[in-house]
Structure 1
Amino acid sequence: MSENRYVTEESLIRFQGFLQQEERSAGTIEKYMRDVKNFAAWIEDQSSVPSGFSCCEVTKNTAVRWKQYLLQSGRAPSTVNSMLAAVNTYFKFMCWQDLRIKAIRLQKSFFRSSDRELTKTEYEKLISAARRKGDEQLVLLMETICATGIRVSEVRYITREAAAKGRTQISLKGKLRTILIPGQLCRKLQKYARKKGIGSGELFLTTGGRRLDRRQIWAKMKALCGAAGVAREKVFPHNLRHLFARCFYRASRDISALANMLGHSSIETTRIYLVSTEDVYAKKIARLGLVQRTK
């Protein structure tokens, strides 16, 4: 390696611009920037003379040691891999390909933990809790995500015009797909728009007229857990998308159509959404009758 390599404020600004040009979602950009900054801060902490991370050289050795640190920190392997992916993307942007870190090889799981799967009954409890709270916007927001399967980052495409047409087009990651909005939901959305005086444009806005961001939606949903009697680890926007996927597949048994609706390039990604819980597999195994009953 002929040149010294450093993470600088200037390179981070350029990296953020690169991610925007790549049409990464706002959530992805935020996470990648946070992970790269955490990586740089860790390198600084390892330095005997802390003087700002822009003065701490990045080497293959430090990158590998950071990976080891993440593994020893108790983070889930999938979380570690997501952080490695962020830093590897930064390395690619900086043309530091020789510094790339190998991801952890994970054994593919054929079942999902029931501790994090949101059931339809639990979803209905969340809706009821939001309605009792008088939060009409949150009720509609959760129903919209769950009834259409959109990502939380795609909520901005739910507009007054979309509610009138019963469909909207979403442009994300260089792909364009059409989302159908159920008629009953359209009527609710249009009624809400009239009540709020929204003549056109996005429907889910703050009282100040700004777009609701991911963190605000996350926090509003988490605040329902106690009143709804649903475990906090099950309550987050993306789980509504998972519930839509499972309900749609049970009704249609068409994984190709589901992949199109979710905006997945690969059906293998869609299959992850359809993995059954441990309880379902346990019941199937019990029905095999391979263990004799005791008298």
Structure 2
Amino acid sequence: MAGKAEPEVEDFLAMLAAQRGAAANTLAAYRRDLVGAAGVLGALAGASRDDLTDLSAVWADLAPSSLARKASALRQFYGFLVDEGVRDDDPSSALPRPRARRSLPRLLGHGEVDALFQTAEEDARGRTPEGLRMLALLELLYGSGLRATELMSLPLAAVPRDAPFLTITGKGGVQRMVPVSTRAIRALGDWLAARGKGGRFVFPSPRGGHLSRVRLFQLLRDLALRAGLDPEKVSPHVLRHAFATHLLEGGADLRVLQTLLGHADIATTQIYTHVDAARLVALVNQRHPLAKS
């Protein structure tokens, strides 16, 4: 938890929470960056362009992604101060504008996904609660592209009765409808029948509440190992990436994909066009007649 912030920073964070619906983790990240900058400059609200230039020198050794995040927090803060009439000028033009290179997501091929499902389905044939739960988790991660937090905190009330959709509460408390395949509904129904009564979450923890993200991570790594895959390659987020990439390969529209993934900005979804383009280049290099010359 970051230290105490000056009043203007607290007002800015309150605005993010009230007007933009920023999640707790997002607010904590902004607080850390702003309090950290204040630790170098003193009070941020009265900082000058020269002060921010000096701050850029202090940040010189940061990775481009970290530098971009910190500079963005300050730009938004000073824009807020101008909007509120606290300042007449915006000194943030003195901040650096690094180009943080977005890395391509790690991918699972269709064969690797098939291996995971074959192992999970074999386990589920035993009708043990653990096997049925693992198959339901896998179906919803790869079949619906849910984030780990969304899946773990999924309430029973969100499970479809007649319509093949889940109501998901994503980042910033934004809700969206996510389609659920027939096979996923079947796997989910089998799990709920084996789950028993009690608790309000689809995937409850034995100690109360819901299954943790760490436990989900462990379960997937164990499944990958038994499926003959490198467990380092498999995680909830990698399965979400596979969902998106394989849909795009199948002809899904980018705007539809944005809605399914719950991305606020289409630019976040566009990373998958780069993944698809990279595969096309690899295909040309491997299959084109001139590649053999």
Same fold? TM cut 0.5 = yes
- DSSP-derived class of the 1:164 partner: coil
Is contact 1:179–1:261 with CA below 8 Å preserved after alignment?
A: yes
- Which amino acid is 1:122 matched to? E
Q: Choose the corresponding residue for 2:61, options 61, 69, 91.
A: 69
Alignment gaps of 5+ in structure 1: 1-6, 45-52, 72-76
Change (3 A) 1:124 1:207: farther
Distance 1:65 1:130 in 2: 55
Alpha-carbon offset, residue 64 of structure 1: 0.7
Residues matched between the structures, number? 268
Correspondence 1:81 to 2:31: no
Once the two structures are superposed, residues 101-124 of structure 1 have per-residue CA deviations (whole angstroms, 9 ceiling, x without a partner) of 333125789xx47xx222233334
**Cross-structure match for 2:99:** 105
Q: Percent same amino acid at aligned positions?
A: 24
User: Which one-letter code corresponds to 2:68 in the other structure?
Assistant: N
What does residue 8 of structure 1 align with? Answer: 4
- Is 1:276 paired with 2:276? yes
Normalised by the length of structure 1, the TM-score is 0.67
Q: 1:141 maps to which residue?
A: 137
Counterparts of 1:213 and 1:92, CA distance in 2: 38
Task: Please state how far the C-alpha of 1:271 moved relative to its aligned partner.
Answer: 2.8
Aligned to 1:237: 236
| Cα distance in structure 1, aligned partners of 2:219 and 2:13 | 28
RMSD (Å) for aligned C-alpha atoms: 4.2
Output the CA distance in 2 between the equivalents of 1:158 and 1:67: 43
Contact 1:63 1:99 in 2 (8 A): no
* 279 and 176 in structure 1: CA distance in 2 versus 1, 3 angstrom threshold: closer
**AA at the equivalent of 1:69:** D
Alignment of 1:24-103 (within 5 A): 24-36=22-34, 43=40, 59-71=51-63, 77-78=64-65, 80-86=67-73, 88-89=75-76, 97-99=90-92, 101-103=95-97
When structure 1 is superposed on structure 2, of 169-178 and 126-135 the one drifting more is 126-135
Answer whether contact 2:159 2:166 (CA < 8 A) is retained: yes
Partner of 1:50: none
Checking the alignment, whether the CA contact within 8 Å between 1:146 and 1:243 is kept in structure 2 is yes
